[in-house]
Amino acid sequence: MEKVGLILNPHAGNQKLAEIVDTIHSKLLEAFSEVKIFKTRKAGEGAEIVKEIAEEIDLLIGAGGDGTIYEIINALCPLENRPAFAIIPGGTCNDFSRTLGMNQDPLLAVEQIINKATQKVDVGKYDDQYFLNFWGIGLISEVSKNVESENKKLLGKMSYYIHASKMIFQNERFHLKVDSKAKSFDGEAVMMVIGNGSYLGGMQTFFPGAQIQDGKLDVLIIKQTSIQHFWTWLQSQIQNKFPEDSNEDLLFFRAECLEIEASPQQRIDCDGEIKYETPSKISVLPGHLTVVVGDFPLKD
């Protein structure tokens, strides 16, 4: 890897990346012969840059939060010839960068990128969209929708859990139908989450055992009867207790492809971005993306 294209969102998180971009550039030039930096000014611009430079570079770096990474990935993954991909975390949660073992200090993450250690990882796909981390409906999308950007800046990743605790007793149930070769479900639920990575909201909340190289997606359905159970479970995350087995309140399984319907229609939260609604067809693309990794695989 010699030629690098870096797409940076100067407004991500607390705008720290914009302040250190020159240092990032200098450090990358220690290991790569060519480094071009592109600063985005508006939504959608990152995707356009990917399409313009992908065939000219060996490594594409996304510098920003989960929203920035989502935009870049959805332009990168459909390409037949894809450069390797790396993340410099700059947002509130930086979930997939954590799964890859990347240091959450941007400059230390650059040091990891310089090492050029890569792995092929799975990518999730729903309809014509791609995701690295998770797909969700129900409570999870309502929490994301109601977390204000100012609260994210002030409270960081805990803002998600504060809003979850407020909304868990008022979230409405919906009828959910799931078809897959692994398992099917037809009943009432308050939330469904499908994970590729192991982090959500900056913590290993739902799928601490998720593997991004196993060719499977982790699936969790929380039924209507499980609101109190979920509240207890949510609190337990801070204590690093991770129940992962199915029971009368929770249904957990792994699958390669799923078809999902919900009534009424549910907003889809995909890697923190809410743009579409159910129904949806979801699948995993094994080893679809070559990524730069840090401390990987993650240590317990």
Active-site residues: which are they?
A: 273
* DSSP structure string for 141-175: HHHHHH--HHHHHHHTTHHHHHHHHHHTTTPPPEE
**Torsions phi, psi for 24 (to 5 deg):** -60, -45
Taking the alpha carbons at both ends of the chain, their separation in whole angstroms is 31
CA-based Rg of the chain, rounded to a whole angstrom? 19
* Residue among 251, 284, 127 at smallest CA distance from 177: 251
Structural contact between residues 233 and 141, judged by C-beta atoms closer than 8 angstroms:
no
The residues, any chain, with a CB within 8 Å of residue 122's CB and separated by 6 or more, are 196, 212, 213, 214, 215, 216, 284, 285, 286, 287, 288
